Structure 1
Amino acid sequence: MLRPLILIVALVAGGGAAWIAAQNTGPASDPVAETPAPAATERTAVLVAAQDVPRGDQVAAGAMKWLDWPADAVPATFIERTARPEALNQLSGRYAARPLAAGEPISEAALSMHPNGFLAATLAPGKRAVAINVNAQSTAGGFILPNDRVDVLHTVKASRESEGRTASSRTLLKGVRVLAIDQTTEDTESGTVLGKTATLELTERQVEVVTAAETTGTLSLSLRPLDATPAEASMEIEAPVRTIRVRRGTVIEDVEIN
C-alpha cells in the first residue's frame, strides 16, 4: 500500500517539475515598443485684454495681461513679451480705438494716444473718411450699420431735353467699409440705424470720385452679404459711363459711349 502512494507522489512531483521547465524554456515574447513622448510645443506670452474695454475708454494696466501662447502662432501684429517686456506698463493709460474683448490680443493699432480722434485711429493706412447724404431708402431701410461693407451707386436723372430717357444708375465703388451712420460708430442692439449721413472709408482718389458724383446725382448704398465681403485690394472704381449729347433737328439725345 505504501509503494503505490509513493509512486503517485513521485509522478505528480515529476509532472509539476516538467511543466515549470516548459514555461521557463518557452519562446520569449516580443518586447512592447514604447510610444515616444510628443515634442513639447515652444510657448511664449502675448499681451491681451484682461477684461472687456469699450471703445474710447482709457486702458489701465489692470485691463491688460500676458497670456501664454504657442510661439509658432504669433502674428506680427501681436505684442510679444520676449520682444517687449515693458509693453504692459508702456501702453497703460492709452485709449481703446475700438472695443476690446476679454482675452483678445492687443495690437498697437487698437490703442490711441489721445481720447479724441477715434475715427482717425480706426482708418486703415492711406484711407480717408468722407460723409455722404443718405436716407432710409438709400441705406437698405436703415439695416446698413457701421463696419458693414457696401457698394456705392450713383443715380443720375435724365435732363429735361432728353426725350424718352429715364434715370440711369451705375456702381461707383465696391466693397467699401462703412465707418459710421450719423454719429453712431458701433453696432446697435436694435440692428438698425436711420441717419442722414453715412461716413465711408475710401482712398484719396475714391473721395474725389464720390464727391464729384454727389454733385451730379444721388448716391445710394447697397449692402453686401457677409460671405461676399472682399479684401481691401478688391475695392476699385468702375469706369464711369460717358455720354455725348446729339442733336437731331429739334430732338436732343444723350448717347452712351465706351
Structure 2
Amino acid sequence: MHIKIAKKNTWVLFTVIAVIFGLIAAYTSVSIVRKYTDTDKVVIAAGDIRAYRKVTLDDVKVVEIPKVAIPSDAVKSLNDIVGKYLMYPVSAGDIIRASKIADMKISSLLSAQLTHLKDPKMRAFALPFTKETGLGGNIEPGDRVDIVASVKIDTNTGPVGVGKIVAQNVQVLQVEKPSSGGTGIVIVALTPQQIEDIAFALTSGQLRFALNPYETDVNAAKTEGVTGKAWFEKYGFTLPGEGTSDTIKNKQ
C-alpha cells in the first residue's frame, strides 16, 4: 500500500514539475516572439538629409518597426526633429537619432557647426561670391573648397598682379545662393590668420573658389603662386624692355 502511494506521489510530482517547466518554456517562447514582433513608432528620414540643413516635415516620416531594432536614442515624435538641424548626414530610411541633432542649447547653428569641428582655432567667416567666382553657384554646405586670391599690389615699379591659393580644403558651413547676376554669401571655417590674409585680398582684388573631391590631396594646393612676370616667363613671353621691341613677344 505504501509503495503504491509513493509511486502515485512520485508521478504527481513529476507531472507538476513537467507542467512548471512547460509553463516556463511557453512563457520564454512568448517573450521571445513578443520581443521580435512588438512594434513601436519611430521617426525615419523620408529621403537623404544633408548635415546642418533645417529639417522640414517633408524630410521625415513616422513608421512602426520591431522594438528590438529601435536604438535607445531614437526620435519618436516629429515635433522633436522638425525645424532642427542634424550634425551628420542621414540616408533615406535611417532612424533619426537624438544624438545626431545639433545641440539647441548652443547659441546658434554656426556655433554648433564650429563646435562640432572640434578645433577651437576655427572661426566662421562670410565671403561674397558670384556664379562666375563660385562654381556657377554650386557651392553647398559641407563642401570643401580652396580659396584663390587674385590681387594687385602696389610696388615701387608699379602695380603687380598676384594669384595664389590662400586657404586649402576649407569647410563650407552655410551658403546663401546668389540671385541671377547678384552676389551670394558663403560662410566658411578659417583660422584667424587665414581671415586676415583673405580680408586683405578682398580689399585689393577678387576671390574665387575651387571645389575639392571627398578624398583630396591637400598638398597639391600648396603652390608657389603666380605673378605677372612669372606667368609671362613660364609661357615663354618677353616683357617690354627685355627685348628689342616694346611689345610682348613669345619666345617659343
TM-score (norm 2): 0.48
Larger radius of gyration: 1
TM-score (norm 1): 0.47
By percentage of residues, which structure has more helix?
A: 2
